[in-house]
Amino acid sequence: MRTSFWLGFALVFTFAQGAFSDEGKSVDSLVEKLPKKPAQMKIISKEPVDMDGQKYLLVFKGYGEFCDYDQVDILQSGKKIGSLKKRCGRDTKLTGDYVLSHGKFASVVKIGPTTSDVYLYLYEEPSNYQFKTSLFQIKEGILKTSYSGLISGSFSDRNGDGLLDITKEGGRGEPSGKGNAYDPYLVYVQSKIDGGLKFYLDESLSMKLSKENNFEWHGKTYNEKLLVNDKGQVVR
């Protein structure tokens, strides 16, 4: 009789334990399905700039994840006049006489001979190792995108026309085995068409820039399958 009692008690206890366990699992699954609170964008930096004789404040915001900032609000006299969203900004590292003012995330650059050749410069990385140059103007309180493209580098006049071109330093390919991936020096020449700002790859000037840096030219395309040494010579 006593044996039957303890056997029954054990069965009841085991059943109850399983029920509570299942209940706990179902509660956990319900919690997992609850809507997550979206990440809050926070202010990363504030930078004053002066353009076209006017003073503005750039407010950089982000989530503190992969990108240094994700959004830029442009304020004048405390009023927001524009916003650049879904950016993936990085530090600006430009140096030279053409840099009129320099902040952590934005620079004001003069890349031509006239006062209309002044731009707000941002440097972005929309995907891994894909870098982007973006240039803006603010006139009469209106923000305008002058250029935005997947090229990067410093500015210099490579063809003597008075307009500064974008020059990308080469020889920085990813290491692999006995050498590095082929990474060419490139020159993107500035051109103005119908009032717009353009940059296009000039292969002859790119070859010349490579030669000036004692780096062999093997074409304009980055090539992970072509391994070279620090002088651009193919590694056998």
CA distance linking residue 107 with residue 39, whole number of Å? 29
Same domain, 210 and 97: yes
Is residue 111 assigned to a domain?
A: yes
> For position 234, what pLDDT does the model report?
96
Is residue 162 assigned to a domain?
A: yes
Is residue 99 assigned to a domain?
A: yes
Is residue 235 assigned to a domain?
A: no
> For position 196, what pLDDT does the model report?
81
- How many domains does the chain divide into? 2
Is residue 213 assigned to a domain?
A: yes
Same domain, 107 and 31: no
| Mean pLDDT rounded to a whole number for the chain | 87
> For position 47, what pLDDT does the model report?
97
Same domain, 29 and 94: no
* Concatenated DSSP letters of 152-195: --EEE-SSSSSSPEEEE----PPEETTEEEE---EEEEEEEETT
Task: Write the CA distances from 128 to 124, 131, 187, 235, integer angstroms.
Answer: 11, 8, 22, 26
pLDDT digits (tens, 9 = 90+) for 127-183: 887 899 999 999 888 899 999 999 999 999 999 999 999 999 999 999 988 899 999
Low-confidence winner among 65-69, 119-123, 158-162, 167-171 (lowest mean pLDDT): 65-69
Q: Which domain holds residue 19?
A: 1-36
> For position 26, what pLDDT does the model report?
64
Is residue 18 assigned to a domain?
A: yes
> Can you give the C-alpha Rg of the chain in angstroms?
29
Q: Is the entire prediction scored with pTM above 0.95?
A: no
pLDDT digits (tens, 9 = 90+) for 199-228: 999 999 999 999 999 999 999 999 999 999
Same domain, 127 and 22: no
